[in-house]
Structure 1
């Protein structure tokens, strides 16, 4: 296996934007649109398993999935024989201010999925979504005709009826006592610092514990390297367009349209019961950002015959890789369906 890995690294090195030693799994640029890029991470010893198409959150950068060798979800997948495709939405500018969730789903995800199917020469796909990227994945799966065989949703908010935070603001929003659209529309694109501040208020208002952990393990070179990369990710949020912010506020939080089946994408009604793919929903018990009561209701909505939920310990950034390998529960579920 080691020889296979070295041969694969050598073969793929010509495609790398950054050296493999910096923790980026070899990848090929397949397609671009505006700020977005579709990346292909070729499998080691490809064994015709169903390709994996990853949709990450709109507010965080996806490099957390390829943090460094031995701590990379993408590396674990390709080492296991899976071709991996990732849609990286990039960072929106002011010119993108009117882009909505609907635009991301119809103009980016749908087109990237079609490009993936053609490039992989396959007639089925595993779609894996993280957090808000999982919400986009569920929306897309509800309206697409693409052959999605498996759908995996990590810490994905679906039911916004009971807000886990800012409950007074949400109550005022639903009563019509808050007009957040005026500010959001005026600013056009919410800066990354605003996004970070909002998440900090919910998860870590006082950001001290990570530094204490670093101090206690300052002599552990591997830990320090991983800490620096992870810390860069936690501070590397992505700006949010006013179009997306308004849809999250109005359609998801205020009106809970996903659960009601009234969310619309370019004239198509998003009904979760249209989802028939094999479904795996993953949540974590200690998640303050997306608690289980926002995640689990999708299980009662979809029409999938094969559907499972798996609850992990830990918080929102609970990893999907263990010691450089796919966790046993995920490996068993995915391999038997690929």
Structure 2
């Protein structure tokens, strides 16, 4: 245990990753689904994945991960990669890989992530796969950004989206769960003062907040096992990804915490895009939502609140697991289960606890159910599109450069 403690201390002083992460190198062990970077700008790289089937569903899928995390949580090892699962089942998949910001990026705000991130990616996808609507998928903060974009597109008459999928993503922050402990005016002012000096929120600050929320699981039990009992917990791909933390630009993080968490502007119809507020009630796309039962980041009852913010069709799946393990949920795990129900467009609102009692339960992973949901809203399979086209030529092999930045 003492040797483990000394090793961890040396790694912390040298700013080295935890022991065992050397076995999970991005591009070699994780994040290995073949593809090409077809767009590179100051905020993100867009990856188009190589087809593995002779035909693909006509409508492509665009994935918007959170910039609070590196995208390859959705492309971990081949056996639990959601991206590989989609590609192998005949889907054309694009995924955003966000830049890990530094001091020079301190001025980037939510509008930059919306325009240079989502909209730039959607423009590229629409050019590479022309005359086809896009299934947009957002995870965590990426899902919140996607919901903002979809509301603005509905307001402005932009009909390029075929559907919207939100994975553990909040749109109403009136009950954000335990993270609310860290979000009030005084704490935000302190945080903004710190970020004014560094230009970004340090990765360690975010990791420390989550450790405090789940102190037994993430802090004390680990210290007892590794330092008192001398029993190193074997590293796995999800743990290695979790240790590969990211930063967030000062301006964006302040806007996100104030306008969404503290003031709840999005659900209140006050969040502006292009100088005009957007309303989630304008969204008429079919929506697939996933909540995770033990989520400490986006509590499932908070995720469920979108049901009373829009009257469109919503299919809601509540799966076992937490914010990460509930999403990285490949078929074949006998301990997984989920509940699922569709509220038709214009249907009555059902409170979360009532939904929990009445929604049918299914054994296994929610991935196949989502696959069938997308298939039902897609056209017949066609020949896969080229890798990059119409001004978006391949620039580099996946996973690109941004995901490798420390």
Give TM-score scaled by structure 2 length: 0.70
Q: CA offsets per residue over residues 144-202 of structure 1, 9 Å max, x none?
A: 225111100010022111241254554x42xx786233333333211111121122222
Closer, same or farther: CA 129–250 of 1 in aligned 2, 3 Å? same
Write the distance in 2 (CA, Å) between the matches of 1:164 and 1:184: 24
Pairwise mapping of residues 112-261 of structure 1 onto structure 2 (< 5 A)? 112-144=121-153, 145-165=158-178, 167=180, 169-170=182-183, 172-173=184-185, 179-180=189-190, 181-204=192-215, 206-207=218-219, 227-261=235-269
Structure 1 residue 337: Cα displacement: 1.2
Are 2:114 and 1:105 aligned?
yes
Write the distance in 2 (CA, Å) between the matches of 1:25 and 1:70: 11
Pairwise mapping of residues 277-316 of structure 1 onto structure 2 (< 5 A)? 277-304=285-312, 306-316=313-323
Closer, same or farther: CA 42–209 of 1 in aligned 2, 3 Å? farther
Q: CA offsets per residue over residues 224-247 of structure 1, 9 Å max, x none?
A: 6xx432222111121011112111
Write the distance in 2 (CA, Å) between the matches of 1:108 and 1:201: 31
Would you say the 8 A contact 1:155–1:316 is kept in 2?
A: yes
Residues paired across the two proteins, number:
309
1:336 alignment counterpart: 376
Write the distance in 2 (CA, Å) between the matches of 1:188 and 1:64: 26
Write the distance in 1 (CA, Å) between the matches of 2:282 and 2:112: 20
- The equivalent position to 2:66 in structure 1, one of 57, 68, 72, is 57
Write the distance in 1 (CA, Å) between the matches of 2:231 and 2:260: 42
Closer, same or farther: CA 160–82 of 1 in aligned 2, 3 Å? same
Structure 1 residue 210: Cα displacement: 7.2
Write the distance in 1 (CA, Å) between the matches of 2:90 and 2:279: 33
Q: CA offsets per residue over residues 265-294 of structure 1, 9 Å max, x none?
A: 231322111211110111011112211232
Closer, same or farther: CA 67–167 of 1 in aligned 2, 3 Å? closer
Would you say the 8 A contact 2:319–2:366 is kept in 1?
A: no
Would you say the 8 A contact 1:195–1:240 is kept in 2?
A: no
CA RMSD of aligned residues (A): 2.7
Structure 1 residue 330: Cα displacement: 1.2
Q: CA offsets per residue over residues 15-71 of structure 1, 9 Å max, x none?
A: xx945x765111011111025100001332233342110000111111111111111
Write the distance in 2 (CA, Å) between the matches of 1:32 and 1:168: 37
Would you say the 8 A contact 1:77–1:326 is kept in 2?
A: no
Instruction: Using CA pairs under 8 Å that are at least 6 residues apart, name the structure with larger relative contact order, 1 or 2.
Output: 2
- 263-272 vs 324-333, which moves further: 324-333
Give TM-score scaled by structure 1 length: 0.83
Q: CA offsets per residue over residues 91-145 of structure 1, 9 Å max, x none?
A: 0111110111121012221011010111122420001111111101111111122
Larger Rg: 2
Unaligned runs of 5+ residues in structure 1 are 1-16, 219-223
Closer, same or farther: CA 330–208 of 1 in aligned 2, 3 Å? farther
Write the distance in 2 (CA, Å) between the matches of 1:136 and 1:198: 22
Write the distance in 1 (CA, Å) between the matches of 2:163 and 2:237: 31
Write the distance in 2 (CA, Å) between the matches of 1:178 and 1:140: 26
Write the distance in 2 (CA, Å) between the matches of 1:178 and 1:59: 17
Write the distance in 2 (CA, Å) between the matches of 1:326 and 1:103: 33
SS of the counterpart of 2:86?
Answer: helix
Structure 1 residue 204: Cα displacement: 4.3
